[in-house]
Amino acid sequence: MSINAEPLRKILELEHKKGYLDSAVIGGLDRFLHKWTGQAIESITNRQLLQSFHKLHLVDANYASLTKEQRKQWAHSVLALLAELELMPQEKGKAKLPQESVTPPKIRRAPAAGRPSLAARQQATESLDSPITAVRGISSNLVAKFNRLGVKTVRDLLYFFPHRHLDYSQRKFISQLVEGEEQTIIAHVWQAHEIMLGGRRSTEAIVGDETGNVRVVWFNNPYLVKTLRTNTRVVISGRVSLYKGRHVFESPEWELAEDKELVHTGRLVPVYPLTQGLRSRQVRQIMKRTVDQWAWQLDDFLPEELKQRCHLLDLPQAISQAHYPEDEALKVKARVRLAFDELILLQLGVLSQKRDWQESQPGNPIGVDTRLLAVFLNSLPFELTMAQHRVIEELLADLQKSRPMSRLLQGEVGSGKTVVAMAALLVAAANGYQGAFMAPTEILAEQHFTSVCHLLSRAGKQETEEDYLRSYSGLSSRPLTVALLIGDIKGVKKQKLQQYILNGDIDIVIGTHALIQKGVEFCRLGLVVVDEQHRFGVTQRSALRQKGFNPHVLVMTATPIPRTLALTLYGDLDLSVIDQLPPGRQAVKTKWLKPMQRESAHAFIRRQVASGRQAFIVCPFVEESETIQAKAAVAEYERLSREVFPDLRLGLLHGRMPSVEKDRAMRRFRAGELDILVSTPVVEVGIDVPNATVMLVESADRFGLSQLHQFRGRVGRGQEQSYCLLLAENPSDIARQRLDIIEQIRDGFQLAEEDLKLRGPGEFFGTRQSGLPDLRMAKLSDVALLELARSEAIRLFEKDPTLDKPEHHLLAKELARVWQKGTAEWS
């Protein structure tokens, strides 16, 4: 096997660039040499090669003590020797390590005259994008296990970060050991033997240093006896406990104190996510090897000048420190650099998307027919809030521009976003454009259809009424047509609707994802409204943009996001906020109940019903498919009807019901013909029944904060005091925290902040589904970093929007790589 000289070459080249200050590697070059040489030697099987290698005297170079001039000469001679070494003929079949035989054959360099070109060198060695078998010690049977953790290539492995680190850096003498703390000792083995502990074969050892002896046991592991021969030096890290008045280490981490760097003990030791068949010691070892062997080969894609301005670590260092930090401070710096990378790449991608979209095709300026708008607004049964007025103005201003609107509308649950969106859709329709309104669920689409039709029938005169199609006259020069298009509508009806949409006979289409499926073509789609954004990803949004000609897009969300974060994650969207609730809304009283209080919750519902109110009951949460959820809902509905509320009128709502039935249940509940609506979590979004005053959520511990807030938002819409009752069988610590928070905090923004703290942005936004690149290192507490990444991204974008400058070449490549992984939209 040949040596891989690339890491060393890179470091030396960097040293050269930095003026031989011994600053290319953290911890100094000598230390790196020590480490690298050890590994390189292991991989050389050719004796001649080995001899030449020893001539380099890398281990005892003592670089730190040389003058700059001496360093320069030394570096040059090493580079020259490395080049020679790489040209030496290879010997086959002498693989020293057993693993070698199971790894697939590797590409070998063809013998060439002179120093091989850079391209040839790269082709010859494995790259960071090679499968993980390129790492020594990863056999093909480990591949599947790593794949299960999402790790396929060497690069993935470098980015496979530990959850956390154990602090085993506190070295103690045996006489100094105290109970209960993580401590490390270095000691000699006096004696180790097998014993039975709790019926299991185990190892017991007595180890000592110059200050005393201590007993160590490893449960259920008799094999250590062989390794721990008398007089070997071991490093032991773990907690000490007291047994019969004496200190003992119980199953601590251990490793032999050889010359090698420590991996499991005596330092900050990484704790990796595992999967069946992967053991932590093994993963640590593999990761150490990967980092030492490969991290140096990562191209640092951030421009030097930016890194200096922001005081960021170099990428290879950040990666290696994220895994095996030298100390706490470097661990933090590593995380900062890696989180910054995620955020700036996210931001750059989002900015480019916005540019592509707004500049590739002109939009359609929509004139504003204020007469129609006035008729509509005057016909509403309520006065708009100031915030609603303001947002309508913002939307109308956008619609009139030839740059397509791209706006995010945030508004607390119940703040009245629908009516604002309707105003914009009407304006589009009055000016000859079609509008599409997309809801996250069919039930909600149906509800929107019903309420939109209701509002329009107050403003104009209803002309036709079909199941899925209504038209109204008196609103503009011609009748205005509204249609509902959902998955349920099939066959001829569907074809007819699609034909109407294509002909331009329908002005406003309300629907779900079905709207962006193939087959639905618009005639002149001018405005798209997407309700409850967190269910819609970037990719879905972009599919809409391709319908017709570059429509204006309004995305609405009731999950408020702190502004900086919104700007980063939805940087392609402008922001409007409805920060005011309609007058008269009451705060919903929220209570987290113990399981034994379920009966009193039911009694409470009964009392509310007796005084003319209604209630929602959200079924026990089953995580599986919608079909299974539906089954559970049916069972719960039957149980409640039979055993708990036999005298009350119960209705059932779940996603698998045919839409006529759903519609009927909703209609009856809204009309007050049902007292209690038993439902799957589909009620979470949007449903609006002002007379409902109780929301009882079963398995409340299984929902996130924003979901719970959504449930709670279903009540408190009328004048009556409303209640949200949360039942949790067996909440975990984090679920308890959530329940405490939701009990205390009413404000959606504040809740979102708390939610982010508990979950981290990746999970919070479901970035995986939304097509955005992963955020693994970035956290909400990084507000300053978010702002930094954003301002740096904007600065870059202004200077070099297409990242064509040579110094941005690597960055452009990384951007394409990261985004292409996340979404098909980016190319």
Where does this chain bind ligand ADP (CB under 6 A)?
382-385, 388, 411, 413-419, 558, 582, 686, 688, 717
Query: Is the CB of 420 or the CB of 785 nearer to ligand ADP?
Result: 420
| Structure-block tokens of residue 435 | 């509008």
Q: Give Cα separations from 339 to 316, 601, 766, 780 (angstroms).
A: 14, 45, 17, 11
Shortest Cβ 767–ligand ADP spacing (Å): 24
| Phi then psi dihedrals of residue 200, to 5 deg | -115, 145
DSSP character string of 146-206: HHHTT--BHHHHHT---SEEEE---B--GGG--BTSEEEEEEEEEEEEEEEETTEEEEEEE
Q: Give Cα separations from 259 to 59, 262, 637 (angstroms).
A: 12, 9, 68
| Structure-block tokens of residue 632 | 């559970």
Instruction: State how far the Cα of 307 lies from the Cα of 325, in Å rounded to an integer.
Output: 20
Instruction: State how far the Cα of 302 lies from the Cα of 808, in Å rounded to an integer.
Output: 8
Query: Is the CB of 131 or the CB of 713 nearer to ligand ADP?
Result: 713
Shortest Cβ 455–ligand ADP spacing (Å): 8
Shortest Cβ 556–ligand ADP spacing (Å): 7
* Nearest residue to Mg ion on Cβ basis: 686
Helix (H) or strand (E) holding 635: helix 626-639
Query: Is the CB of 421 or the CB of 788 nearer to ligand ADP?
Result: 421
Q: Give Cα separations from 618 to 327, 653, 654, 734 (angstroms).
A: 49, 10, 10, 21
- Give which of ligand ADP, Mg ion, none residue 582 binds (C-beta under 5 to 8 Å, depending on kind): ligand ADP
Cβ burial of 382 (10 Å; 0-12, 13-18, 19+) is exposed
Cβ burial of 739 (10 Å; 0-12, 13-18, 19+) is buried
Query: Is the CB of 171 or the CB of 585 nearer to ligand ADP?
Result: 585
Residue 678's identity, in one-letter code, is V
Query: Is the CB of 162 or the CB of 411 nearer to Mg ion?
Result: 411
Shortest Cβ 752–ligand ADP spacing (Å): 15
Shortest Cβ 167–ligand ADP spacing (Å): 47
DSSP at 585: P
Instruction: State how far the Cα of 311 lies from the Cα of 337, in Å rounded to an integer.
Output: 9
Instruction: State how far the Cα of 813 lies from the Cα of 321, in Å rounded to an integer.
Output: 24
Shortest Cβ 576–ligand ADP spacing (Å): 12
SS3 520: coil
Shortest Cβ 487–ligand ADP spacing (Å): 22
Q: What is the largest CA-CA distance in the chain?
A: 99
- Give which of Mg ion, ligand ADP, none residue 542 binds (C-beta under 5 to 8 Å, depending on kind): none
Query: Is the CB of 49 or the CB of 420 nearer to ligand ADP?
Result: 420
Query: Is the CB of 282 or the CB of 457 nearer to ligand ADP?
Result: 457
Q: Give Cα separations from 512 to 173, 425, 469, 488, 536 (angstroms).
A: 67, 16, 16, 11, 10
Instruction: State how far the Cα of 716 lies from the Cα of 712, in Å rounded to an integer.
Output: 8
- Give which of ligand ADP, Mg ion, none residue 432 binds (C-beta under 5 to 8 Å, depending on kind): none
- Give which of ligand ADP, Mg ion, none residue 219 binds (C-beta under 5 to 8 Å, depending on kind): none
Query: Is the CB of 252 or the CB of 686 nearer to Mg ion?
Result: 686
Q: Which residues bind Mg ion (CB under 5 A)?
A: 686
Shortest Cβ 577–ligand ADP spacing (Å): 12
User: Helices H, strands E: what count in the chain?
Assistant: 29, 23
Query: Is the CB of 133 or the CB of 557 nearer to Mg ion?
Result: 557
Query: Is the CB of 44 or the CB of 422 nearer to ligand ADP?
Result: 422
* Nearest residue to ligand ADP on Cβ basis: 416
- Give which of ligand ADP, Mg ion, none residue 411 binds (C-beta under 5 to 8 Å, depending on kind): ligand ADP
- Give which of ligand ADP, Mg ion, none residue 448 binds (C-beta under 5 to 8 Å, depending on kind): none
Shortest Cβ 437–ligand ADP spacing (Å): 12
Shortest Cβ 279–Mg ion spacing (Å): 49
Helix (H) or strand (E) holding 343: helix 328-360
Query: Is the CB of 270 or the CB of 686 nearer to ligand ADP?
Result: 686
Shortest Cβ 757–ligand ADP spacing (Å): 24
| Structure-block tokens of residue 428 | 């589009």
Q: Which of 777, 809, 774 is nearest to 302 (CA)?
A: 809
DSSP at 463: E
- Give which of ligand ADP, Mg ion, none residue 382 binds (C-beta under 5 to 8 Å, depending on kind): ligand ADP
CA atoms within 13 A on the CB side of 578: 28
Instruction: State how far the Cα of 641 lies from the Cα of 648, in Å rounded to an integer.
Output: 8
Shortest Cβ 510–ligand ADP spacing (Å): 14
- Give which of ligand ADP, Mg ion, none residue 688 binds (C-beta under 5 to 8 Å, depending on kind): ligand ADP
Query: Is the CB of 169 or the CB of 415 nearer to ligand ADP?
Result: 415
